[in-house]
Structure 1
């Protein structure tokens, strides 16, 4: 949602976005989502519309604006919190629809993705919790909600200095309106003619929080430091903006992020990049490879060197200084085919991982068969040692899959067995201590970065 940049507030919106102009939405049938959809759907080439009902009695509706097809209307209705009417770029319709219907991250968004669920403010969703198939919601500390009434009573304003835009000739402004308080006052004047409209003290405009203080925001250097990498290793926003968190502010000096947002981004990056770095070793060629691949190579190179150097079946022994390089190369060919074949190579890696996962889940199913509520990991038996060893074998050779595998186990245990992710995470941690060949310190680091947030225990 936060990567979609609305270009105007509809005059009928209940929760206006600061800095954006207000535009006349009188032609929209705002009380009929189906009619909003029909405005654009099947009305001609380049026009589109969509509506969907939401749980709890709400709905979303979007349509291309026929008189200015560069833009589209997006309407969100909540039975308790009123409606949001936005003008967006037509190309963003699909993303806006998905964000409101599926993202589970509120409907009021500010400051690069901070979102309000009707009660509390949360930071932009960045840290994926695979046990719940959603981003982990992170509350904003000491957040203060600013309503329309708050701003109108605390900021000088004059509605006569503002205007309401019309859609036919509308062009999105390149910068926030400098006298937005005047426009907010004009919006409030129009609302006074509609007694059923939400009161101004229920119209959410913005939030304040210590972490959003402009003096506390961090730049690219700070973002890189949060992830423990060089600024040069960050994506270039000109070519890969989606690889960076949405900034809370952007000016001529660059992008600026709240420090908690930077830390969340770094945490999510660690979930995917961390296991690969943790479970890496340097080969005889000086390249970094998964520790399992490097161990296979070392074992095979010694075996091949010994075989090439010994006299067998009456043949003369190999007496050349090039024995070891030949053994190294042969060993690498063998190790690579064992490690990187997937199901098309010598070893069906995915089948091995799937079998281990099924064995672990089968053990959990047996433990929960009596239907008793499980609240702690010590209510469950240790997981099968051979399954843990098999899964470790796979992870040592495909560490980049660790986060997905642990997330899948926690997800399936929650959905199919009604086991809390925290319980499953604790049990996996304990069972790896008992049966995994990884040392305890490595297991701790691996689980800290790779378990879903809801499955981690404070340490």
Structure 2
């Protein structure tokens, strides 16, 4: 589940997110003017560097303008999409201009893309639909400044959003390239999204054959590609059954087809992270910078940025597997014998022993501490070296102390 925090609609949006306040965006530069669909533009707010605007324009469907809390998760709700949709709602359900589709979860190897599953009996709710309510009062609506939205505000949280929508509609710029209110998409309704059809954490965990506690751990750590909930009921996440079933199907697929992508990479062990950092540029160079190898697989629409992400995923996978294949316990036993032999030869800390002990300390600190204590015990019993002195000699602490003196 992504953790980006969506704060507000921009006043210049064509497709407001229901329930979010509207914020003044007139201080932003002009949006994209390309004739075809443009990729979302990310703009750090000129007055608030902790906030980020994401503007996504389409030549026929209008544009979305959203304000996010800036950070690594502020990339917008488009994870997993080959093309980034203009409108996403209810935890990843998305609109292509005509139809609604479920969140992208299942990879179709035949087409080389994520499966597109249309939502049965989906109905689009537009701004015009809501504004038919006679209670909508533009005069009671509010347009906020960015500075008002850095923290939760009782002023906008307590105000009826219908009034804000009416104010937005009344002051919205109209032009031939902007959709009318009956094409300004707010959200969708569908039988599978009805309240009595949604399921909670226990049912989602059961669908995936894991315990509820394991599911909660996945969510708290950002692991496992857990789908975004379709709703929060009493602060409890709820999912549609099709989304739950797709996630369970994704988990059942062979591991070879599910090597960790950027969004679901597990945290590496401390010693594996340097391996990943070393492998990423090597793999990127092999995939992209070698013309002969690049020509074998790179399609015209792929970019250097996309290939770098693939290289990062491969490096993460390789580092994780390398970390698992090193026999740490056997390495510790060999290190113990070598270090004891070094003490007998009067050279407690050879380069080889120092290098292996350093690796063991970074990757398996508890095992390294046990190994050091074992060697020190042998040095004390066999060669008369005091235990603490032996530890300092083996770890290099004695050399550091002498250098400091």
TM-score, scaled to structure 1? 0.51
SS of the counterpart of 1:250?
strand
Which residue matches 1:7?
7
Distance 2:30 2:71 in 1: 21
Distance 1:270 1:160 in 2: 54
Which residue matches 2:91?
112
Any stretches of 5+ residues in structure 2 without a counterpart?
259-321, 328-405
Instruction: Give, in angstroms, the shift of residue 55 of structure 1.
Output: 8.8
Which residue matches 1:164?
143
Which residue matches 1:260?
242
How many corresponding residue pairs? 261
Any stretches of 5+ residues in structure 1 without a counterpart?
34-53, 277-339, 346-459
Which residue matches 2:228?
246
SS of the counterpart of 1:153?
coil
Distance 2:173 2:32 in 1: 22
Which residue matches 2:129?
150
Q: Which digits, 9 at most, give the CA deviation of each residue in 1:268-325, with x for residues without a partner?
A: 011146999xxxxxxxxxxxxxxxxxxxxxxxxxxxxxxxxxxxxxxxxxxxxxxxxx
Distance 2:177 2:138 in 1: 22
TM-score, scaled to structure 2? 0.57
Instruction: Give, in angstroms, the shift of residue 197 of structure 1.
Output: 3.2
Distance 1:12 1:235 in 2: 38
Quick one: structure 1 residues 343 and 220, their matched pair in 2 at CA, closer, same or farther if it must change by over 3 Å?
closer
Distance 1:30 1:251 in 2: 38
C-alpha contact 1:212 1:258 (8 A) present in aligned 2: yes
Q: How does 1:72-151 map to 2 (within 5 A)?
A: 72-92=52-72, 95-96=75-76, 99=78, 103-151=82-130
Instruction: Give, in angstroms, the shift of residue 188 of structure 1.
Output: 0.2
Q: Which digits, 9 at most, give the CA deviation of each residue in 1:29-82, with x for residues without a partner?
A: 22457xxxxxxxxxxxxxxxxxxxx89343432111120111011111101101
Distance 1:267 1:141 in 2: 20
CA RMSD of aligned residues (A): 3.5
**Which residue among 59, 64, 69 is the counterpart of 2:44?**
64
Instruction: Give, in angstroms, the shift of residue 134 of structure 1.
Output: 3.1
Q: Which digits, 9 at most, give the CA deviation of each residue in 1:163-216, with x for residues without a partner?
A: 101124432537966511111000000116657532100100010001111121
Which residue matches 1:332?
none
Quick one: structure 1 residues 105 and 169, their matched pair in 2 at CA, closer, same or farther if it must change by over 3 Å?
closer
Quick one: structure 1 residues 168 and 342, their matched pair in 2 at CA, closer, same or farther if it must change by over 3 Å?
closer
SS of the counterpart of 1:69?
coil
Distance 2:255 2:158 in 1: 41
**Which residue among 208, 218, 230 is the counterpart of 2:189?**
208
Quick one: structure 1 residues 76 and 225, their matched pair in 2 at CA, closer, same or farther if it must change by over 3 Å?
same
Distance 2:2 2:92 in 1: 4
Q: Which digits, 9 at most, give the CA deviation of each residue in 1:86-135, with x for residues without a partner?
A: 11122157623x93896325220000111011111011111122344432
Q: How does 1:217-232 map to 2 (within 5 A)?
A: 217-232=198-213
